[in-house]
Structure 1
Amino acid sequence: MRMEGTSAHRIRKWLPPVSVAFLLGILIGFRFSPSIYLLFLLLFPVLIFMLLFVFRPFPGGGIFVLVTFLLVGAIMARLQAISQDDQVFLQLAQERKVAEIQGVVASQIFQGDHVYYFDLKVKRLTDLERDWGTNKKIRVLLPLGKEPDFERGAVVTILGKFRAAEGNKVQKGFLKDLFWEEEGPEILFYGFAGQAKITKKSGGLLAALLQFIHRRATLSFERYLGRDQAAFMRAMVLGDRSDLSEDLNNDFRDTGLFHIIAISGQHMTILSSLLFALLNPFPISRRAKVFLALLFIAFYGVLTGLGPSVFRSVVMAFVLMLGMVLGRERDMLSSISLSLVVLLAINPQLVFDVGLQLSFLATLGIVLLSPFFLERLERLPAWLAQIVAVSLASQLAVAPILAINFHRISLIALIGNVVVLPVIPPLLGAGVLSAALASLVIAFTRPLMLLMDFILRYLFWVVHLLAELPFSTLEIWSFGTGGALIYYLFLFSFFPVWQKIKLNSRQRRIVGVAVALLLLILLLAFFLFPETPPQALTVSVLDVGQGDSILIQSREGINILVDGGEDPWMAYEKLRKKGVRHLDLVILSHPHEDHLSGLLKVIEKLPVGAVLDGDSGSNSFPYQEF
């Protein structure tokens, strides 16, 4: 039965404010740590008034709905904060005790530079003195050597040590520094060589089927495509980005096109549309088509590992399609709101996840801003206007998140999307279809591989060409949470208000030019503002993880850097966050990698006056590159 129109309309109307209240409640719970007993005490009377309002509406009663969800959000945040799992892992990392963990392998097994790594859903933990039951997912690293002979879904027991990740590089989103008092390190588990034992080989028939499809698809990509092309298709279709080259990664990031590689809502939308197109000739009902699409999306999500971005996309797709089953018109704002509530209810800490912020803000930007741009692009062909409007809206919506977390914004993302997006549906469709055919006979995929090879050659050529353009990427290091909040307040209020203001075309042009000039002045002031030296001689020990790095600054504006640590990027990032735009002198104390490696990126990215080197005569590759 369909819901009554008035009831459905009321629910849709309330979903956006309810999701905001729930979000604020979670933030309050994490930031201010209110007593959970007080929260429950407040919840009961408010809940009674909310139920009264739901069944017998009265003026002003809606406030009780919002307060109820705010309190529920705060309670859920407090309940998760009280969880002991993280504290136990951190304690074991600090004590450096040997521990044994047992759990289910929850991802593919990836190979890094020095380790194999995968996610493990830990079920049991012991430090050989105490024993805990848990249900926490953690990243496990094993030394290179014999490749692990277990796969996703297997139950394994591993002996090793917990460690706090040096220099914590995990991105937590622009809300983290405002609402989370103490970031804390990421906890990893380092397994000892040869100490990973299989308790249960397979996760069952479904896990075996998924592994079979994954292996056959990988074989077909590697047989018929070049190395970079095969790695790209594995990332795009299977969610396995372990073999993507650094150059390819950088090209797609610098052009703002990495969303093409990462499995996201865009992938689910394309695949759902292709599936509906395939089912259209068959005489089956709309609900049956939606049901088949839901089954496909669920299976595809599990096939790709059901990581955070995939899980978000699956939830969003389910919400949208269930709305179609109920026979309601698409209401994207309500769907976004409901998806947000569902995801945060499952894991409140996702509010600090960069991926979730990018995903929902991009979608929100498309919903709220793209109609404004479409009206002004009516002279363009419809398909081109749609791509430009959607790309511009999403880029404007995610710019602060990219600036805060990745310190770079692509200035050519709009152009890149226009010339690249039209080829993505056939590429993704061919990739998924070839994965299915490879499960039968790999040779059947050859015609599809020829199509993919042609598209990939074009795609790589365009992306590399755009990435090589001067000023294709803008680095931003001084943009904080306060600036982001002001930006979003302006962005999501200006365009809706602008559409409602009664101005003639000449007045609108004047106001538009004035706003554009104001933004240009602010931008120039931001980037041309001179580097501010400290008031006195300052010596800063930079947190670069493994190794050492020391910055010396004088009141005259002289900057000296001694060593750069081991991480290729961390010293450079720390310098830029401190506002350092040049170095007068770089000193390498000795050519060990934990002092040298970080200097390579510093010298590449920043103007350096002179370099002082002990000239040890080392023959190592990093030293020769230095």
Structure 2
Amino acid sequence: AFAGGALLADRLGAPPAPLLAALAALLLTAAVWGRARHPGAALLALLAAFALTGALRLRALVHPPDPTHLAHLPADWTPRRCRLTGRIAGPPEEPIPEAPGAGAPERIVLRLTAERLACGAAAGPAAGGLRLALYEARGEYRAGDRLEGTFLLRRPRGAINPGGFDYRRFRQVQGIALEGWAREAQADLALQPLPGARLQRAVAALRKRMLRRLQEAVGGEEGALLRAIVLGDRSGLSAATVTAFRDSGTYHILAISGLNVSLLAGAFLLLLRGLRAPPRVAAAAAGLLVVFYAALAGGSPSVVRAAVMTAAVLLALMLDRQADLWNSLGLAALLLLAVNPQNLFDAGFQLTFAATAAIVVVADRLTLAHLPRPARWLLLSLTVSAAAALGTLPVLAVHFQRISLSGILANLPIVPLSGVLTALGMLEALALALHPAGLPGLADLLRLAAATQIGTARLFAALPLATLQVYPPTLLMVWTYYGLVLSLIAGRLRRWRLPLAGLLTLALLGQVAWKAWPSRAAALTVTFLDVGEGDSILVEAPGGRLVLVDGGGVYDDRFDVGDRIVVPYVLSRWRSRLDLVVLTHPQPDHLNGLQAVLRRLTVAEVWES
């Protein structure tokens, strides 16, 4: 109900006063019906109240009540150079080269919580989040410090094309109202350590030491993978490795997930129970460990989701109740949405809860106790992997236009090995934080395990049809798909199960056929794609022939315009064939985007000048 209210508020919008009045009326109605012993009616009123609460919470984030919030800047606010004061909200990103191999200056990215903003003659207190890039950065920037400097600021800006990545929404979900950049030497920076942030700085310093020593002890691509799995730092992974995990359907292990957090919490619980600690004390201690690990791993959205979901299970243990998986899942989702209802639109949030819900469904229905242990483990692993794949299939198709066929099998070796890397990697990281030598022989073992992990991902990614490019489904298709899945697993439907499933299958196939049916444009249509610098123009001639003129691009390989903007737009039209591609001139901002076009789409003919 809470999520539904947030979704409706985002789609429709409504002023807060009527929503508050309706919320008060619903709460009063629920109380009256509850006293009159009408529990069904009272429950419906409470659900409606939850929906209105979600709508109000979303409005409070999109339109903050604080008049100094950066979200209230005028609609015509243009990029400008401003003097900014704020607190560093988390550990900075590790220095990365702006253009690999090109000798470009290094940069770090900081997230700040604004305190004061001065733009020309206008100056005053400010609130809200900012994301700042510092080029040629050599200083030390720690979480909790106050930073003052001069930056060129602008609103988050991304391509506005149907089917493309919504960068503005992505930053809005993260609470980022402005972005900025400056060269360190020219920003007139002033850093002030604040006494109240000692714990935050200590955790950030420990994280930095562990990351550095892990890379020194293991090194290479294996060390980069270990840093990603154990501490959530993916800055050192090569594009080839990321692609291998993505195409093999195992990309999820590169982000700290419930597997990592639950494994650490479970191991700690077993240790405390072995030491005869009371169950509630052990659960509370494990909860504190989860909070510490979430901070140590950088506090990214995936880490926070995993920590909240694990904490929900630990809370049930602390209250001496049997942990109901559905209640724990619902509580975790409610907590995350209460903090930020815009998580509902985040691909990571949707994938996490879709996969977990699918696994919970399987766990409630599987009875494998009669099988031998090896067969039980194999069948359980296959079933769980298949359930997660089916549960996330529409989400992957909507956001990434890809589905992985090899993921069901690839997860069998990669997920258990990821658990080993998480446990032993954290042990080695803690040991390295205490002494540069770490534990004898463990670094070599971790290097071998990480190399095996990378090799396995590349092996499955190289299989024929390992990953398929698909058209993004409509919202109605997504709901029809999930309705079909629910109709097949719902136990209460009984004799209506197969007829309903057949009806939904026909409805889904009908939608796909209608969308895929080739349409014939009656008139010439010219679409200028938003690709930033350069040009990319899609021309649809009468009769349906598609012509692409240029593909946009940037001057280095930081961002693939063709892969992230041009191809998703063409696929959003449910087209994967271009009759003609024209390159007007071979400059990077016209040429570079065409590489992905030629790689991912069928092109009948290419003209170049």
TM-score (norm 1): 0.84
The equivalent position to 2:314 in structure 1, one of 321, 324, 340, is 321
- CA drift at 1:146: 3.5
Q: Note the alpha carbon deviations across 1:114-136, whole angstroms, 9 max, x for none.
A: 24323222222221322343442
Instruction: Measure how far apart 1:229 and its partner are.
Output: 1.0
- Structure 1 pair 528–225 and aligned structure 2 pair: CA distance change class (3 A): farther
The answer to whether the 8 Å contact 1:563/1:587 transfers is yes
SS of equivalent residue, structure 1 residue 590: coil
**Equivalent AA in structure 1 for residue 441 of structure 2:** P
CA spacing shift, 1:409–1:443, aligned 2, 3 Å: same
Give the corresponding residue for 1:468.
462
Deviates more, 1:453-462 or 1:145-154: 145-154
Stretches of structure 1 that go unaligned for 5 or more consecutive residues are: 1-20, 615-626
Q: CA offset at residue 429 of structure 1?
A: 0.2
Query: Which residues in structure 2 correspond to 1:385-404 (within 5 Å)?
Result: 385-404=379-398
Q: 1:463 to 1:366 in 2, by over 3 A?
A: same
Residue from 69, 78, 81 that aligns with 1:98: 81
Determine the C-alpha separation between the residues in 2 that align with 1:219 and 1:66. 49
Alpha-carbon distance between aligned partners in 2 of 1:425 and 1:394, rounded to the nearest angstrom: 17
Paired residue for 1:262, among 248, 251, 255? 255
SS in 1 for 2:605: strand
Secondary structure, aligned partner of 1:159: strand
Q: Structure 2 vs 1, CA of residues 370 and 255 (structure 1 numbering), >3 Å: closer, same or farther?
A: farther
Residue aligning to 1:42 = 22
Assess if the C-alpha contact under 8 Å between 2:115 and 2:126 holds in 1: yes
Tell whether the 8 Å contact from 1:553 to 1:560 is kept in structure 2 after alignment: yes
Quickly say closer, same or farther: Cα 1:531–1:141, change in 2 above 3 A: farther
Most deviating of 420-429 and 408-417: 420-429
Taking only the aligned residue pairs, the percentage that are identical comes to 28
Q: Match for 1:484: what amino acid?
A: V
Match of 2:141 in 1: 150
Q: Does 1:600 find its partner at 2:598? A: no
Contact 2:481 2:508 (C-alpha < 8 Å) held by counterparts: no
Q: Which residue of 2 aligns with 1:558?
A: 545
* 3-state DSSP of counterpart to 2:140: coil
Amino acid at match of 1:110: E
Is 1:107 matched up with 2:107? no
Asked whether the equivalents of residues 480 and 508 of structure 2 are also in contact (C-alpha less than 8 Å), the reply is no
Change (3 A) 1:502 1:67: closer
Rate the CA distance shift 1:426–1:293 in 2: closer, same or farther, 3 A. Answer: same
Do the aligned partners of 2:214 and 2:223 also contact (CA within 8 Å) in 1?
yes
Between the aligned partners of 1:374 and 1:522, the Cα distance in structure 2 is 33
* One of 180, 186, 190 as aligned partner of 1:189: 180
Q: Secondary structure at the match of 1:242?
A: coil
Task: Summarize the Cα distance change of 1:362–1:257 in structure 2 as closer, same or farther, 3 Å threshold.
Answer: same
Distance in 1 between residues matched to 2:597 and 2:113, nearest whole Å: 38
Deviation, structure 1 residue 310 = 1.4
1:64 corresponds to which of 35, 45, 51: 45
1:248-296 residue CA offsets vs partner (Å, 9 max, x unmatched): 1111111221111101222111111121232232121111211211111
* Equivalent position amino acid for 1:48 in 2: L
Matched to 2:46, the amino acid is V
Q: What's the CA shift string for 1:214-247, capped at 9, x where partnerless?
A: 2332233222324111111111111111121111
Report the secondary structure of 1:160's partner residue.
strand
8 Å Cα contact 1:155/1:200 also seen in 2:
yes
Shift of 1:351: 1.8
Mapped partners of 1:318, 1:394: distance in 2:
22
The one-letter code sitting in structure 1 at the alignment partner of 2:270 is: A
Q: 3-state DSSP class of the match of 1:123? A: strand
What one-letter code is carried by the residue in structure 2 that aligns with 1:128?
Answer: G
Map Cα deviations across residues 50-96 of structure 1 (whole Å, 9 max, x no partner).
Answer: 3455677434322222122122222222222322635445747x422
CA contact (8 A) 1:89 1:187 kept: no
Letter in 1 for 2:132: V
Pick from 427, 433, 440: which aligns with 1:433? 427
CA contact under 8 A between 1:171 and 1:353: conserved in structure 2? no
Question: Does residue 487 of structure 1 match 2:481?
Answer: yes
Check conservation: 1:224, 1:446, Cα contact below 8 A.
no
Counterpart in the other structure of 1:124: 116
The structural deviation recorded for 1:149 is: 2.5
Distance 1:196 1:394, change over 3 A: farther
Of 198-207 and 263-272, more deviation after overlay is shown by: 198-207
Rounded to whole Å, the distance in 1 between the matches of 2:74 and 2:381 is 46
Matched position secondary structure for 1:443: coil
Contact 1:362 1:393 in 2 (8 A): yes
SS in 1 for 2:574: coil
After TM superposition, give the deviation of residue 469 of structure 1 in Å: 0.9
Distance in 2 of aligned mates of 1:97 and 1:409: 42
**Equivalent in the alignment of 1:8:** none
1:587 deviates by 2.1
After TM superposition, the structure 1 stretch with the greater mean CA deviation from structure 2, 586-595 or 298-307, is 586-595
Letter matched to residue 68 of structure 1: A
Q: CA deviation at 1:155?
A: 1.7
| 1:571 correspondence with 2:566 | yes
Q: Is 1:77 equivalent to 2:58 in the alignment?
A: yes
Deviations 1:561-606 (A, max 9, x none): 2211115222222222233322333222222221111011112222
Q: Which runs of no fewer than 5 residues in structure 2 stay unpaired?
A: 99-106, 554-558
Instruction: Single out whichever of 407-416 and 572-581 deviates more from structure 2.
Output: 572-581
Q: Within 5 Å, which residues of 2 pair with 1:1-400?
A: 21-52=1-32, 57-59=37-39, 60-83=41-64, 85=69, 87-88=71-72, 91=75, 94-105=77-88, 106-114=90-98, 115-143=107-135, 145-163=136-154, 164-167=156-159, 187-194=178-185, 195=187, 197-201=189-193, 204-372=197-365, 381-400=375-394
Return 286-295 or 438-447, whichever deviates more: 438-447
Measured in 1, the distance between the counterparts of 2:109 and 2:520 equals 43
What SS does the corresponding residue of 1:95 show, helix, strand or coil? Answer: coil
Counterpart of 1:453?
447
Superposed displacement of residue 523, structure 1 = 10
Q: Tell me: CA distance 1:374–1:464, structure 2 relative to 1, closer, same or farther (3 Å).
A: farther
Find the aligned partners of 1:201 and 1:602 in 2 and give their Cα distance.
Answer: 49
> Could you say what secondary structure the match of 2:179 adopts?
strand
Kept after mapping to 1: 8 A contact 2:484/2:504: no
Aligned 8 A contact 1:90 1:187 in 2: no
Per the alignment, in what secondary structure is the counterpart of residue 293 of structure 1? helix
Q: Could you tell which deviates more after superposition, 399-408 or 57-66? A: 57-66
Letter in 1 for 2:181: Y
Asked if the contact 2:515/2:574 (under 8 Å) is kept, the reply is: no
Cα displacement (A) at 1:370: 4.0
Number of corresponding residues: 577
Amino acid at match of 1:479: P
Instruction: Supply the RMSD in Å over aligned alpha carbons.
Output: 3.3
- For residues 471-490 of structure 1, what are the alpha-carbon distances to aligned partners after superposition, in whole Å with 9 as ceiling and x for unaligned? 11111124121211111222
CA, structure 1 residues 452+555, in 2 after alignment: closer, same or farther (shift >3 Å)?
Answer: same
**Cα distance change on mapping 1:108 and 1:526 into 2, 3 Å:** farther
